[in-house]
Homo-oligomer: A and B are copies of this chain.
Amino acid sequence: MARVAGVSRATVSRVINGIRNVDPDIQATVRQAIATTGYVPNRAARSLVTRRTGAVALVLSGAGADEDPSPSPLLTDPFFGRVVAGIISFLRPRGIHPVLMFAETAQSRAQVVSYLRQGDADGALLVSTHAADPLPAQLVEAAVPAVLFARPADPIPISYVDVDHRAGAALAADRLVELGRRRVATICGPLDVPAAQARLAGFQDAMARHGHAFVPYSEGGFTYDSGEQAMERLLAERLDLDGVFVANDLMAQGALHALRHHGRSVPDDVAVIGFDDSSAATACRPPLTTIRHPVEGMAAEMGRLLLDHIDEPGRTPTSVIFEPALIVRASG
């Protein structure tokens, strides 16, 4: 390659890496030679000396200590697809690709940390399903640059992006009040998850601001069936409710089913508002009014933060909080 261009390897390297101090004419010659030979620099050789791989890990992580070999639940969730799309959209223009890894068992978490230390990737983007995930702390300890998708349950010095759950829940409350609903309840997520807590608290607070001191709630597990059951419990308690905020769309879908089963029409008898704006929201009949996170934007921001941490290892952890939006559809 250097021979073809009639210059030294060092000069070729300078041209490829965009270092100034290279004569424009020579630069052109080298580029020409690159184009005709179809030369591509060897990645391994480069990262051996730069100590950078140009890759980042995208880690999907749970807290389970069990031996579940299948990471399907998260993977099958369209939410994950949006995260990946957002990450890719930021990373691809920069020529870096995410390496996919899973970490649901203690063993696989150790593997992930070991890989990162080995230099398979320069840092990690972490999407956890469970609040009690020990991986973030392990990464901090291993001094691996990392960014989380949501605020960790335990406060640890690590960067993350998140959505303002309280504000989102308040949006739902305002909407129900605006629709003139007076007998409102909510189905919340598992209360050991910080996001679920925040959505419940945010909803209750906003309703209180509108004069509704007490909002009954029923706890679900963020699944279709748990939403259906929670709705059943709510209806058993007070059959005359006319509005319900459900902490995610999947549960809202279940709630819709329970309401139909009881002959309550949506939104005429009962207005239903979900959270997430997942694909479930549009697949539902009626389509769900819901709260949308800017997931793709959040994912892109994760990439940005991670690159900052990689460039400047000592950097202080940062959090970036995004504002959710109300998406009005037919259900409320």
Determine the chain B residues whose CB is within 8 A of the CB of A75 once the complex forms: 80-82, 84-85
Determine the chain B residues whose CB is within 8 A of the CB of A58 once the complex forms: 100
A94, chain B: closest CB distance, angstroms: 12
Determine the chain B residues whose CB is within 8 A of the CB of A257 once the complex forms: 285
Determine the chain B residues whose CB is within 8 A of the CB of A102 once the complex forms: 88, 92
A119 contacts partner chain B, Cβ-Cβ < 8 Å: yes
Determine the chain B residues whose CB is within 8 A of the CB of A97 once the complex forms: 57, 99-101, 115, 120
Instruction: Write out, one digit per residue, whether chain A residues 73-110 have a CB within 8 A of any chain B CB (1) or not (0).
Output: 01111101110110011001001011111100000100
Are A42 and B115 within 8 A (Cβ)? Answer: no
A118 contacts partner chain B, Cβ-Cβ < 8 Å: yes
Residue of A80, A99, A114 most packed against chain B (CB within 10 A): A99
A327→B76 CA distance, assembly (Å):
19
A48 contacts partner chain B, Cβ-Cβ < 8 Å: yes
Mostly, the A contact residues are helix
Determine the chain B residues whose CB is within 8 A of the CB of A24 once the complex forms: none
Are A40 and B283 within 8 A (Cβ)? Answer: no
For this complex, 13 residue pairs linking A to B, each with C-beta atoms less than 8 Å apart, are A48-B48, A69-B89, A70-B296, A71-B88, A72-B85, A75-B82, A76-B81, A76-B85, A88-B102, A92-B108, A97-B115, A97-B120, A253-B283
Are B55 and A48 within 8 A (Cβ)? Answer: no
Determine the chain B residues whose CB is within 8 A of the CB of A119 once the complex forms: 42-44
A322 contacts partner chain B, Cβ-Cβ < 8 Å: no
Determine the chain B residues whose CB is within 8 A of the CB of A279 once the complex forms: 76
A187 contacts partner chain B, Cβ-Cβ < 8 Å: no
Closest B residue to A284 by CB, please name it.
B283
A111→B93 CA distance, assembly (Å):
10
A41→B119 CA distance, assembly (Å):
9
A53→B118 CA distance, assembly (Å):
13
A70→B86 CA distance, assembly (Å):
8
Closest B residue to A95 by CB, please name it.
B111
Are A117 and B76 within 8 A (Cβ)? Answer: no
Are A118 and B42 within 8 A (Cβ)? Answer: yes
A71, chain B: closest CB distance, angstroms: 6
Are B44 and A117 within 8 A (Cβ)? Answer: no
